[in-house]
Structures are given as structure tokens and as C-alpha cells.
Amino acid sequence: MMEAKKVKETRVVQTDQVLINDLNNYHTLFGGVLMKKMDACATLSARRHTRVKECVTASTDSVNFLEPIRVSDSVCIESFVSYTGKRSMEIFCKVIAEDLETGKRRIAATAFFTFVPLDENKRPLEVPPIIPETEEEKYLYETGKERESIRKLKRQQNKELVSRLSLNKPWD
């Protein structure tokens, strides 16, 4: 069995400023820009946990945009492994926006990503277990099995959906 790692060993924190080019027509951060930043941060947590060259995003679920992020804010993304299966791991991302003028902080978004580590032949590798320590980590770990079950159900539903989709060109 692989040696378990503590959640804190997988924690990645990235802080960035909001730039004008990243804003939508409502003068708030584009959701897609934030998701890209979250995925990049989560990738580092996954690689830190498995210590392999390649970890791929298998799914993204429960992305919740809770508060708008404006140009006067900084964006702090915190990610860490919150739950592990045999060949996949769940990464939790928490986004904290801070108004740089007032110092007021708020949780702006949360998300769960699933990553799979790959070997040199692109085959899934086993994932080390995770050890939660803080109350936040323990809560996320204890509720992880339920999220994993929901993801499996959604994956089955998606396979059914895809089996019924057409590959015909829409203009034909």
C-alpha cells in the first residue's frame, strides 16, 4: 500500500490581481478565466500529491460562483486534495476575493475537480491515501464518498447521453 500524505502537503495557494482584460461586460472577472486559474492550481495539488509528471483533469463539478470579483480585488485560489479513490483524487478549490482598498475578504467561488495521475504509457496510476487534519479538511474528506458516488452516477448518465448524440453536421 502507498504511504498516505497529509492534506497540507498538497495545499497550493496562488494569489493574483484582476486585470482589465479578464473582465466581462459587467466589469467582473470572466467565469472561464477563473476556472482556468482554478484548474491550474488544482493540477499542482494533484501533482504534489502523486509526484508524477502527468495528472489530467477527469471532471469538474460543483463550480459555484458565489460573489462577483472586480478589478479592485485580488484573487486568492487555495487548492488541496480533499478525497482519494484508488486511481483518482478529488481536489477542492476555494477562491477568496479581497478588496485591495478596504481589505474585506469574501469567498467568491468553490469547486471540486477530479484528477487522474498517468504513467508514461498514459495509464492511470494508483493514488496515495490522504490524511485530513483540520475541521475543514475532515468535513470535505467525510463528505467525499457521497460526491464520488454522485460523479459515478453522472458519468453513467453522460455515457447514455453521448450514445444518443449525432455526429452529423448540423448544416446538412
Report the pLDDT value the prediction gives residue 1, as an integer from 0 to 100: 64
Residue 150 parent element (H or E): helix 144-163
90, 103, 169 from 172: Cα distances, Å: 41, 56, 6
> What are 162's three cell numbers?
453521448
The domain of 11 spans 5-163
Global confidence as pTM: 0.93
Does residue 70 lie within any of the structural domains?
Answer: yes
Does residue 71 lie within any of the structural domains?
Answer: yes
Q: How many domains does the chain have?
A: 1
Helix, coil or strand: residue 45: helix
* Tens-place pLDDT, residues 53-68: 999 999 998 899 999 9
Does residue 171 lie within any of the structural domains?
Answer: no
Does residue 168 lie within any of the structural domains?
Answer: no
Per DSSP bridges, beta strands 54-65 and 73-84 are unpaired
Does residue 172 lie within any of the structural domains?
Answer: no
CATH number of the domain that residue 103 is part of = 3.10.129.10
Indicate whether 156 pLDDT > 80: yes
